Amino acid sequence: MSAPRSTASLRHRLAERGIDPLLMLVLPALLFTIALFVYPFAYGIGLTFQPTAATVQKWGGGVFANYLAFFGDPFVRDSVWITMRLAVPAALFNVVLSVPVAMVLRRRFRGKRLLSSMLVLPITLGTVLTAQGLLIFAGRQGWINRALEAIGLIDEPLKLVNNYLGVMFSLIITGFPFAFLLVSSYLSGIDPSLEAAARTLGAGWWSRFRKVVLPLLAPGLATTFILTFVLAFSVFPSARLVGDPGGTTRVMALMAYRSFGEQLDYPMASTIALLMGVVELVVVAIVFAWRSLLYKGSTGGKG
Amino acid sequence: MATTAPAPARSRRRAGTLPGERSLVASPSTWFVWAGMAVFLVFLLGILVTVVVDSFGKQWFDTWAPVEWTRTWYSGAWDRFELGQVIGVTVGVALAVVVISVLLGVPASYVLARRSFPGKKLVMGLFLLPILMPPITYGIPLATVMYAFGLGRTVAAVVLVNLVPSVPFVILTMTPFIEQINPSVESAARMCGASIRQVFTRVLAPLLIPGILAASILVLVRTVGMFELTFLVSGPGSDTLVVSIYRAMTSAGGGEARQLISAMAVMYTVTMLVILVVALRFVNPTQLVARVKESRDD
C-alpha cells in the first residue's frame, strides 16, 4: 500500500484523501456563505465593541459600553426572560401535543387526508394574517367572546389578545403544524413491526409507547423541539401585533429592531442580536447534549 | 367533518380486530386528542373565516356579522398599497431565491453526500448555523453591511438576505436525498464512458428532480412568508407582500382601515394556498425524511 503511494502523483495522493476536482462543486455555496453569513457576522461582532458616543457617555466602560447597556438597562435585560417565557412553553407544547396527534393520524380512516391538510393549513397563513385573524376573532367583540357570552359562561369579554396569551395562541397556531409535520415524518421512520413484536409479547398500549416508540422517537423529538424553539424564539411580528410590545411580550427581537430601525444605533442593535444568538445557542446546546445521551441506532427505516 | 370522521373508522377497526385487542392509543386518550384537535381547528377556521368575512364587510362592530357587504376593500387595497407592484416584487424575489439557492446548493450537497474530505464537519457546521440561528441575529449585522454598501432598500438586497437561510436549507434537505441514491448507478454510467457532466445531466438530474422540486417548494413558501429578514432591508419599492401588510398594520396614527388589511391578508393567503396546492400535487413534504413501509395495522 505504501510503495505505490510514494510513486503516485500529488494529484493522485490528494485524491486518495478525498481531495479532487469534484470538490470544487462545494465552493460556490461555501464562498456565498462566507460572504453573506460569516463576514457580516464577524463585522457585527466587531461592531458591538464600537459603541456610539451616546452609549459610552451614558453607561461608560469604553468598548464594552454596549454590553454594560444591555445588562444594565432593565428594560432591555428583562427581554431575555420574557422571550424565554414565551418560546420555551410554546415549543414544548407544540412538540408534546404533536406526538399523540401524529400517532392517531398514522392510522387510516376516512377524512384523514382532509384532516392532515387542515393541520398544515396555518403554514399558508403566516404570522401576519394569524395576527389579524386573532385580533378580530378573539378580540373583545370577536366570535369567541360572543359565543361564550351567549351560552352564559362569562359576563365580561375575556382579554385574549394584546397580551401574553395572544402571542402564545399565535405561536401555537403557526408552530404546531411545523412540529406535527416533523414528528409524523420521524414516526413514519419507525418500523411498525417493532411495535407488532411488542404486542405479541403482551405489552399494553402504554408500555408499547413508553418502552418501544418513545425511545426511538426521542432524538427526533429533540430535533423538532430545537427547530420549533428557533421559530418561536425569533417571534417578532406577532409579539408586536397581538402582544403587549411594551410589557409582557417585549421580546429580544423587538428590542433589537427598536435599536436598529427606530434609534438607528447599529452597534447596540448588533449587540442585542448577538446576545440573542448566544441565549438561543445555549438552549440548543443543552438539548443537543441531552440528545446525545439517547439511542442513536437504526429505527428500522431504510434511510 | 373532521370530528365525525373517526367514528365509522373505529367501528370498522373494532370489527376487524381480535377479541380483547386494543387499538394503539386507548380510547380516552384518543378522544382527548380529537378534542384538542377540534379546539385547534375551531381557532384556525375562526381566524380564517373572520378575516375573509371582515374583508367583505362594510361595517362590523358589535354584531355577529357585518351589516352590509361590499367588495370595494379589495380594489381599495390594491390601489392604496400598489399591490400589483408589491406582488410582482414578491413573486420575482421568491423565484430568484429558489433558482439561485438550487444552483448553489445542489452541487454542494452532492459533494457532501458522496465524498469525505478534510474539514467536512466544519463545512457542514457552517451550513447548519444559518438555519439554527434566529434570523434577527445575523439579519441585523447583515442589514448593517448592506446599508454600508449602499444596497439598502433594493430588491437585490432582499434577494441576497433571503438566500442566506435558503442555500443551507437546500443543502440540508438535498444531502440525505442524494445519499439514498445508489452510487453504483453513477459508477455504471462512468464505466460505460459517460463524462462527469453527462453523469450529472443524463443520470443524476432525472433522479434528483423530485428532491429538487420538494426543496424548491419549501424554499418558495419560506421566502414568500419570510418576514424578519426582508423587513430589515426592504423599503418602498422592494417590500414583499408580508412586509407591506405589517407596515399597514403598524403605520403611525392608528393605521389603515382594518378591512383594507383584511383584504390584503386574504390575497396573501390565497397566493400561498395556490402555491401549496400546486406544490402538494407534486411532492409530499414528509417524503424528505426516508420513509419505511406503511404501518402494518393500517
pLDDT at A287 over 50: yes
- The pLDDT value recorded for residue A95 is 92
**CA-based nearest distance A58→chain B, Å:** 23
Specify the CATH number for the domain of residue A127: 1.10.3720.10
Set of chain A residues whose Cβ sits within 8 Å of the Cβ of B130? 33, 37
Q: What is the mean pLDDT of residues B110-131?
A: 87
- The pLDDT value recorded for residue B211 is 83
pLDDT at B99 over 90: yes
Picking from A95-99, A224-228, B68-72, B113-117, which range would have the lowest pLDDT averaged per residue?
Answer: B68-72
CB-closest option in B127, B269, B292 to A301: B292
Do the Cβ atoms of B137 and A273 come within 8 Å? yes
Specify if A121 maps to a domain: yes
SS3 B29: helix
Cα B54–chain centre separation: 26
Cα–Cα distance between A7 and A279 in angstroms, integer? 53
Do the Cβ atoms of B134 and A253 come within 8 Å? yes
Interacting residues of A298 by C-beta distance below 8 A, sequence separation 6+: none
Do the Cβ atoms of A204 and B22 come within 8 Å? yes
SS3 sequence of chain A? CHHHHHHCCHHHHHHHCCCCHHHHHHHHHHHHHHHHHHHHHHHHHHHHCCCCHHHHHHHCCHHHHHHHHHHHCHHHHHHHHHHHHHHHHHHHHHHHHHHHHHHHCCCCCCCHHHHHHHHHCHHHHHHHHHHHHHHHHCCCCCHHHHHHHHCCCCCCCCCCCCCHHHHHHHHHHHHHHHHHHHHHHHHCCCCHHHHHHHHHCCCCHHHHHHHHHHHHHHHHHHHHHHHHHHHHHCCCHHHHHCCCCCCCCCCHHHHHHHHHHHCCCHHHHHHHHHHHHHHHHHHHHHHHHHHCCCCCCCCCCCC
Q: Is the entire prediction scored with pTM above 0.95?
A: no
**Domain boundaries, given as residue ranges, for chain B:** 6-12+24-70, 76-288
Chain A residues 164-193 with CB within 8 Å of chain B: 169, 172-173, 176, 181, 184-186, 188-193
User: What length does chain B have?
Assistant: 298
Specify if A233 maps to a domain: yes
Specify if A67 maps to a domain: no
Do the Cβ atoms of A137 and B50 come within 8 Å? yes
Share of chain B above pLDDT 90, in %: 14
Q: Encode pLDDT of B228-255 as tens digits.
A: 889 989 888 888 888 888 888 887 655 6
Domain coverage including residue A268? 74-291
Mean pLDDT of all residues belonging to chain B? 79
Q: Encode pLDDT of B200-218 as tens digits.
A: 888 888 888 878 888 888 8
The dihedral built from the CA positions of residue A52, A56, A57 and A59, taken in this order, carries a sign that is positive
Specify if A31 maps to a domain: no
Specify if A50 maps to a domain: no
Set of chain B residues whose Cβ sits within 8 Å of the Cβ of A190? 292
Cα–Cα distance between B245 and B87 in angstroms, integer? 12
Specify if A198 maps to a domain: yes
Do the Cβ atoms of A190 and B289 come within 8 Å? no
Is the ipTM value over 0.90, yes or no? no
Strand partners, B232: none
Q: What is the mean pLDDT of residues B118-129?
A: 88
CATH of region B76-288, choose from 1.10.3720.10, 1.25.40.850, 3.40.50.300, 3.20.10.10: 1.10.3720.10
Total structural domains within chain A: 1
Q: What is the mean pLDDT of residues A157-171?
A: 85
Do the Cβ atoms of B62 and A128 come within 8 Å? no
Residue with cell 373494532: B14
**CA-based nearest distance B208→chain A, Å:** 16
**CA-based nearest distance A41→chain B, Å:** 6
Do the Cβ atoms of B143 and A226 come within 8 Å? no
Residue of B nearest to A100 (CA): B33
Mean pLDDT of all residues belonging to chain A? 82
Q: Does A49 touch chain B (CB under 8 A)?
A: no
Specify if A38 maps to a domain: no
Asked whether B52 and B44 are in contact (CB, 8 A), the reply is no
* Closest C-alpha to B139, from A28, A27, A241, A43: A43
Specify if A6 maps to a domain: no
